[in-house]
Amino acid sequence: MTTRIKGPGIFLAQFAGADAPFNTLEGITRWAAGLGYKGVQIPTFVPHLFDLDKAYDSDTYCDEVKGICADAGVEITELSTHLQGQLVAVNPIYNEAFDAFAPKHLHGNAKGRQEWAVDQVKKAAVVSRKLGLKTSVGFTGSLAFPYLYPWPQRPAGLIEEAFAELGRRWMPILDVYRDNGVSLGYEIHPGEDVFDGATWEMFLDACKEHPAAMINYDPSHFVLQQLDYLAFIDLYHDRINAFHVKDAEFNPTGRQGVYSGYQGWTDRAGRFRSLGDGQVDFAGIFSKLTQYGYDSWAVLEWECCIKSPQQGAAEGAPFIESHLIEVTEKAFDDFAGAERDEAQIKRMLGL
């Protein structure tokens, strides 16, 4: 029996650090393998783990990266360009805050920062192909998000123009992904202009249904919005190419709800939690994804306001492993079946 979904995998971004074993690709992949992970999602914005520019220029370096992962006993699941993707589209109100995502020499230079980000995301498509990967993950960026709540009323056409501009910016990038045989899974995420099913449809329309535009499915962001994350799979399963396994909970009170009153993470109604500590129905998610033929990775993204990353990572691998479904090769009522008998069928139907 085999599982259709691959895993467990782990996104390395939240675990990277200055101390061993989290300060080198060799160390962090061996650490992940030691916890039972079979795949690692590599952030392209953490230079001491992975140098995207070097990988773009050097096949030898790409081979070294593959060798390091293979020696540790893990596969590369995807490359992540979340931070660079964010910088493809930045509303000016966020300029100062998002400068931190770019090299220091580009701080205060919005045009140069965007050009760098576009180049980075395009390079990730080429490097993904060189690493033998078919999928990548990232963000769309945000032009319209500051105008999410329509008060005062939004000027007519503002949202439409924002999404049209997203399409103009992303179409040439998506062409590079298509030409390299790689799809880009956008994480549907509040703060991005694409944060739910309706905005995904708007973005996909702006990108003219581009075949490389896909979804990195993460139910935690839907719990915090109170969106039906199982129905989301029913609607968009044909565009899901990646899966962040992340838990969350939503506990509204008389004081706060979805917007959470500007409170810190531990005091919010909606909180990210370690796997199994929140409210996400992972049995339902793994069942639906398996039912619809999803055959890529289940990747832990650890973000928890209470539990340590070390404990969250240690618990994550067996949690994902326990939810992988061995796909049945027979129907439960096969024992009662019989060979097709045309004469019998006609008699039973009175034909």
Confidence at residue 333, expressed as pLDDT on a 0 to 100 scale: 66
Q: Which domains does the chain have, with CATH numbers?
A: 6-349 (3.20.20.150)
Q: What is the DSSP letter of 6?
A: E
Strand extents, DSSP E, 239-283: 240-245, 247-250, 270-273
Tokens representing 60?
């030898």
Q: What angle do CA 56, 58, 63 make, to 5 degrees?
A: 105
Question: Residues 110-131: pLDDT tens digits?
Answer: 999 999 999 999 999 999 999 9
What pLDDT digit, counting tens, does each position of 12-69 carry?
A: 999 999 999 999 999 999 999 999 999 999 999 999 999 999 999 999 999 999 999 9
Location of structure tokens 């793994």 = 286
Tell me, what's the pLDDT at 258? 96
pLDDT (mean) for 93-116? 98
**Three-class SS state of 128:** helix
Question: What would the two tokens of residue 297 be?
Answer: 């990775």
Task: Give the model's pLDDT for residue 1.
Answer: 56
274: nearest Cα among 220, 195, 226, 324: 220
The average confidence (pLDDT) of the chain is: 96
Sign of the dihedral through C-alpha 326, 283, 195, 98? negative
Burial 99-137 (b: 16+ CB within 10 A, else e): bebbeeebeeebeebbebbbebbbbbbbbbbbbebebbb
Q: Which two tokens stand for residue 257?
A: 């709800």
Please give the helix or strand (H or E) that residue 345 lies within, else none. helix 342-349
pTM for the model: 0.95
Please give the angle made by the CA atoms of 56, 9 and 318, to the nearest 5 degrees: 165
| Residue 85 CA from chain centroid, whole number | 12
The answer to whether residue 189 scores a pLDDT higher than 80 is yes
Q: What percent of the chain has pLDDT over 90?
A: 95
- Residue 251 half-sphere exposure, CB side, CA atoms within 13 Å? 11
What is the mean pLDDT of the segment spanning 186-213?
Answer: 98
Question: pLDDT of 266-312, one tens digit each?
Answer: 999 999 999 999 999 999 999 999 999 999 999 999 999 999 999 99
- State phi, psi for 247 to the nearest 5 degrees: -100, 160
The pLDDT assigned to 330 comes to 76
CA distance 16 to 14: 6
In which element (H, E) is residue 115 found? helix 110-130
Across 194-199, average pLDDT: 98
| Amino acid letter, residue 252 | P
